[in-house]
């Protein structure tokens, strides 16, 4: 059992563990505990034997608590030999304990006391180890190689027709725009995305704005520009994956779609401010990370920028720099 319920980017980081387990031990049965709204990324996956769903908000009601307990009982009945907690927080550790697997390994996030539930604790090798490589650290403990090749997110060819219905035309060069991010402090200013679109006025270029329902306002604003297709809140997660695959390059904040783009080998121009790309940047992606570190507060890891000139670290990245980065990676 792999415990990694959220977020989308974190789930992408953990998928290599699944791939490398099944590649080396195809007879092993692997289950995954995942937040229900992120589950489409792993549904119908060839390496998953079963998904177990977690509804975070469901535990706020008597009915939800009863449903959650039933889910734990079902997981316990599987009698897992190994439980791998790649979330490393109290909630996941508690579920790992309740499942009563034969042996539990977990990442030491040094938060919420999760490690007291583990039989074996996986320390981060050093302060600059990327999240993907940290997740892979569990594999040698299972007698497996951590550095073999694998296909991260296999193409779902049956979705190609859906993309055409949504507006994809193969005659154009598509550039993905991901203006959203869960933290406001991680968002390149929307006006900078608008300037970028206006300055890239090549007739063969089209832009696809990619994101969830929470990004609709930004998508609608960008969709007012010529040559821009607003897809925010209009695609399933698997469709989003395929859109990111067909883009020639993706311009993105530090957010889930950035990790998907890297996983499907699409060049990425990633815009970083308050977070550290060495820890959570686009893993081994083609392209570049644009980051201005002239401010003493970078990286601050703050959800809300406290400076009078909000998000100065990201405002310092100009559309011209992004265009140069696009030209360099195409």
Tens-level pLDDT at each residue, the chain (330 residues): 999 999 999 999 999 999 999 999 999 999 999 999 999 999 999 999 999 998 876 666 777 778 888 888 999 999 999 999 999 999 999 999 999 999 999 999 988 889 999 999 999 999 999 999 999 999 999 999 998 889 999 999 999 889 999 999 999 999 999 999 999 999 999 999 999 999 998 999 999 999 999 999 999 999 999 999 999 999 999 999 999 999 999 999 999 999 999 999 999 999 999 999 999 999 999 999 999 887 888 899 988 888 878 889 999 999 999 999 999 986
Dihedral angle sign, alpha carbons of residues 261, 326, 212, 66: positive
How many whole angstroms separate alpha carbon 314 and alpha carbon 291? Answer: 7
Supply 145's token pair.
């190689």
Give me the pLDDT at residue 283, please.
Answer: 96
Give me the pLDDT at residue 57, please.
Answer: 66
How many whole angstroms separate alpha carbon 114 and alpha carbon 88? Answer: 6
pTM metric for this prediction: 0.94
SS3 204: coil
Fold exhibited by the domain 2-141? Rossmann fold (3.40.50)
Give me the pLDDT at residue 240, please.
Answer: 98
Do the domains 157-329 and 2-141 match in fold? Answer: yes
Give me the pLDDT at residue 93, please.
Answer: 94
The residues, any chain, with a CB within 8 Å of residue 129's CB and separated by 6 or more, are: 279
Domain spans in the chain, listed from the N-terminal domain onward: 2-141, 157-329
Check whether domain 157-329 has CATH 3.40.50.2000, yes or no: yes
Give me the pLDDT at residue 58, please.
Answer: 64
């Amino acid at each position: 059992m792999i415990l990694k319920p959220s977020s989308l980017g974190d789930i992408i980081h953990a998928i290599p563990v699944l791939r490398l387990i099944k590649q080396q031990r195809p007879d092993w049965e692997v289950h995954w505990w995942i937040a229900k709204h992120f589950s489409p990324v792993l549904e119908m996956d060839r390496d998953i034997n079963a998904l177990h769903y977690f509804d975070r908000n469901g535990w706020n009601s008597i009915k939800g608590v009863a449903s959650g307990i039933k889910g734990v009982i079902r997981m316990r009945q599987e009698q897992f030999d190994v439980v791998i907690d790649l979330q490393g927080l109290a909630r996941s550790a508690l579920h790992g304990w309740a499942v009563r697997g034969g042996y539990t390994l977990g990442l030491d996030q040094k938060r919420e006391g999760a490690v007291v539930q583990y039989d074996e604790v996986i320390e981060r090798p050093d302060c600059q180890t990327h999240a993907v490589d940290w997740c892979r650290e569990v594999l040698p403990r299972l007698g497996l190689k951590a550095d073999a090749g694998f296909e991260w997110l296999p193409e779902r060819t049956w979705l190609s027709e859906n993309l055409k219905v949504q507006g994809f035309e193969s005659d154009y060069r598509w550039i993905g725009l991901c203006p959203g991010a869960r933290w406001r402090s991680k968002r390149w200013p929307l006006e900078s995305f608008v300037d970028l679109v206006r300055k890239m006025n090549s007739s063969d270029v089209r832009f696809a704005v990619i994101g969830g329902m929470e990004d609709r306002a930004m998508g609608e604003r960008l969709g007012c520009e010529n040559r821009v297709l607003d897809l925010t809140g209009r695609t399933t997660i698997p469709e989003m994956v395929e859109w990111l695959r067909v883009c020639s390059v993706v311009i993105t904040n530090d957010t889930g779609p950035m990790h998907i783009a890297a996983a499907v080998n699409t060049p990425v121009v990633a815009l970083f401010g308050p977070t550290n790309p060495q820890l959570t940047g686009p893993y081994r992606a083609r392209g570049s990370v644009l980051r201005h570190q002239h401010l003493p507060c970078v990286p601050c890891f703050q959800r809300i920028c406290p400076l009078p000139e909000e998000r100065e670290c990201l405002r310092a990245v100009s559309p011209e720099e992004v265009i140069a980065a696009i030209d360099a990676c195409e």
